[in-house]
Structure 1
């Protein structure tokens, strides 16, 4: 592996970190997709289903919650869902396979950060930073979620590592490889574009110190950068084309600066109170924030090999790139917090630096000194017990369990080809459609720019139901705890809709968790 020279002892430490990372990520790997990110995971999982069942064309990702379809959407390049579909073809459908693919990318990301840190700040910081990425609750939780973000972070971290090696060792083949991998990372999820900032910083910093910053070297790098930029721009223009020209006319993501306007972002303080709540409760948690804060107050360590050039501000540049992304997409990132994953690399690096600073506060430079080992162990225990475990417990809570139960029941009742309508615990969440193993509609119907997380009034709700019935919807199911983004419960707010269903459909299931109706054809009543 390029630039991966590592001694036997350090290799053993890295192996231990990767085992720890795997244990954290694989715990509860078979949990259905009912945790805090159920909504987005269900859509990702549907795209994997549809690659297998309908079309292998990766440029037309399709969901199943807008009717019989096709239901193409403007999305990032579906790397994780496509690999998962291939695994479905080999091993059959298992909902945890998506988690397993994401975890695999996440583990590689821990390895890639270790090798990158070793190049930038040295081996001790590589161990500490990789350890923090292995256990930080936000990194762990996102890495175990059926989302595109683990592929994004893993790939851009790998691309950054290989690019630094190229700059330090003049290995042209690594330039192309780094460009390809980093480009795939940005295609996997657009926030990965933040890596351009530290890579640009590394280019000028390393080459200048090595005396190799010259037009010839820049002309060697420029074509790779231009091709990468063209591919990224071309793909996302295509994604917008798909999302605006095919039903349900939906492009993933919203809440950008150019949509809302700078004045709204200022009025909301760039959503920083909400971002802080996310960061302190589960993404980083306070122990990690404190460690990272300590590192940000002091100078970064110098390189352990001056001949490689100076690049000690690399992770500050990465943080700056992530903050630029946040500046332009604050509401989107706050609303869909898995997008914070791009911050996990610099925060892990800084937190690892903070751990080392506290562990060596007495001036000792040897790991074998008992006091240093003890302090390191205590800090690690505080991070795990005070941050990682409660943060993960919070996010793993089965918020969408009733939607899963509803979907499983619909799967048992509906015949293949039946179209279903479902309202899960969170209005708009397609988790019940996913587990029904059928196509159909969330209720109220989603797609486009309308807000389908808000319940309509009874008259509009009945009109929506009858429109879907006319499109051959055969089943209507609602979780009894279904509520919209305004906190209104469907069974209490839409009593007229339920009364209409009781008159025009057959109530098949009525238990503590759900109501399910078999819909009669519109001409039958």
Structure 2
């Protein structure tokens, strides 16, 4: 018995949250140059840096890739960006603050996920589900400068406190306040995360839930929707229209989205069985569905049905974009992790269940570890800001051939445009940009771009990674 107590910490989810927190601290100070979604991280970091250097008004986020404009654009509520900025105000700006903030909040989110499941299911189910979520797609994205797991963590906290209120917890007012605050912040930072609030239908339509409590809960929830609706349906379109920078993806019409998703159905399925929980985790997800059907676990089946239906609304609104960006699966990862954990907890052989859980963890870590490294061919971008200082000022507008990926622009610490080689070859196009104040073109040779020569412009410098040209006024086009 004494020997068993020595290892009791292995069954404490807080131990594993801490272990995986430490694991994800590896390379935490890296700039956002890892292969997966460096472009998305760069835009988040751009906004944080512009809060620090230009204007800290949270309602007017700015990006750097429409250099001839103010860069003000509509986007998700920049809470993560602003927290990044707040830390920079104290310690000076660094790329990686957003990583650490996201990691901390996402780790807390895992603990609330565990507590939420433990309220209604066994300790074993809660532990397995939380650990599976830890090593899912959550593992790598919870340390990126992106709001996805950050937002989902806030939504999970909201569901935890909302369920406390509906279940009749003694601290009713505080639970209601925390529910609406975390709901509003979670939905503001990533509106797609809000789909998970559909789980409250299980309480709303249950005859066991007090009617007055339901009415109060719905009314308060609608109050939480007010700032969310104001942001996405008024303020974001207003900023994009007023300042001319259309950066935020507002989705597609439903029928187009459905057509695009089902037009590439194998890729759609691949997001579920390969990217979210990986293969062993997905097998346990299927096992969980089987056990739920076999044992007539109606609450589990209703939860899966409702969340999947709501998540399909997200998928169909995104259309083809959903298929090509795996982070769209992050909101559904908690549901899949719970079903997989439920299935795992039903395996009578504890040793086999432990082996399978370990297999999920090993597969998850092994398949995502490469995302913690930066490719050698991209490392030159770390110093490109100071390199360019030799020839051009920080205020000069530049064009970069990074195929519309904003990452290189972020690292140059300048403003301008990103585009492909074909567009840069256009004489009239470049003259138009010259007239707008652009004076330099940065040609990336291998990372983010491909080499090209521009003999009609003045070559300033040429090395193994890039060429820098000065744009010449083409008077023949006047």
Report the TM-score range of the alignment, normalised by the length of the smaller protein: 0.7 to 0.9
354, 360, 366: which one aligns with 2:343: 354
Query: What does residue 173 of structure 2 align with?
Result: 172
3-state SS of 1:69 partner: coil
Residue 273 of structure 2 is aligned to residue 320 of structure 1: no
Deviations 1:66-103 (A, max 9, x none): 11431111101001111001111111121111111111
Which of residues 385, 388, 404 is equivalent to 1:410? Answer: 388
Contact 1:103 1:144 in 2 (8 A): yes
User: In structure 2, the residue corresponding to 1:475 is in which secondary structure?
Assistant: strand
What is the CA distance between 1:224 and its match in structure 2? 0.5
Report the equivalent of 2:431.
466
Preserved contact between residue 125 and residue 342 of structure 2 (Cα < 8 Å)? yes
Task: Name the residue aligned to 1:387.
Answer: 364
Question: After alignment, is 94-103 or 66-75 more displaced?
Answer: 66-75
SS at match of 1:161: helix
CA distance in 2, matches of 1:105, 1:413: 41
Matched, 1:517 2:453: no
Name the Cα RMSD after superposition.
3.0
415-424 or 71-80, which moves further after superposition? 415-424
Per-residue CA distance 1:90-121 (angstroms, 9 max, x = gap): 11121111111111121111111011111122
- Give how far 1:175 is off: 1.5
Distance in structure 2 (CA, Å) of the matches to 1:282 and 1:398: 21
Please tell me whether the aligned partners of residues 149 and 338 of structure 1 are also in contact (alpha carbons under 8 angstroms).
yes
User: What is the CA-CA distance between 1:294 and the residue it aligns to?
Assistant: 0.6
Q: Distance in 1 between matches of 2:339 and 2:71?
A: 43
Preserved contact between residue 44 and residue 146 of structure 1 (Cα < 8 Å): yes
What are the superposed Cα offsets for residues 339-387 of structure 1, whole Å, 9 maximum, x if unpaired?
22101111111222232233x2x4xxxxxxxxx2x32442133223333
Tell me whether 1:226 sits opposite 2:226 in the alignment.
no
- Please tell me whether the aligned partners of residues 187 and 232 of structure 1 are also in contact (alpha carbons under 8 angstroms): yes
Q: 1:464 to 1:15 in 2, by over 3 A?
A: same
Residue of structure 2 in register with 1:507 after alignment: 460
Q: Distance in 2 between matches of 1:344 and 1:91?
A: 34
Indicate which of 380, 395, 416 corresponds to 1:440. 416
Using structure 2 for the length normalisation, give the TM-score: 0.88
Structure 1 unaligned regions, length at least 5: 1-8, 303-309, 363-371, 445-454, 484-488
Per-residue deviation at 1:291? Answer: 0.9
> Which SS does the other structure have where 2:346 is aligned?
helix
2:290 to 285, 297, 300: 297
2:401 maps to 1:423? yes
Aligned length: 463
Q: In structure 2, how many angstroms separate the alpha carbons of the residues matched to 1:267 and 1:50?
A: 36
Q: Distance in 2 between matches of 1:293 and 1:403?
A: 45
Partner of 1:150: 149
Q: Are 1:198 and 1:321, in contact at CA under 8 Å, matched by a contact in 2?
A: no
Could you say which residue in structure 2 is the equivalent of 1:116? 116
In 2, the alpha carbon distance for the partners of 1:407 and 1:179 equals 44
CA contact (8 A) 1:77 1:188 kept: yes
Describe how 1:58-457 pairs up with structure 2 within 5 A.
Answer: 58-136=58-136, 138-170=137-169, 171-205=172-206, 208-209=207-208, 212-214=209-211, 216-237=212-233, 238-248=235-245, 250-253=246-249, 255-258=251-254, 261-262=255-256, 265-266=258-259, 268-269=261-262, 271-299=264-292, 313-314=302-303, 316-358=305-347, 360=348, 362=349, 372=350, 374-393=351-370, 398=375, 401=378, 404=381, 407-408=384-385, 409-410=387-388, 413-424=391-402, 427-444=403-420, 455-456=421-422
Normalising to structure 1: TM-score of the pair? 0.80
CA shift for structure 1 position 296: 1.1
Give 3-state SS (helix, strand or coil) of 1:299's partner: helix
* Helix, strand or coil at the partner of 1:298: helix
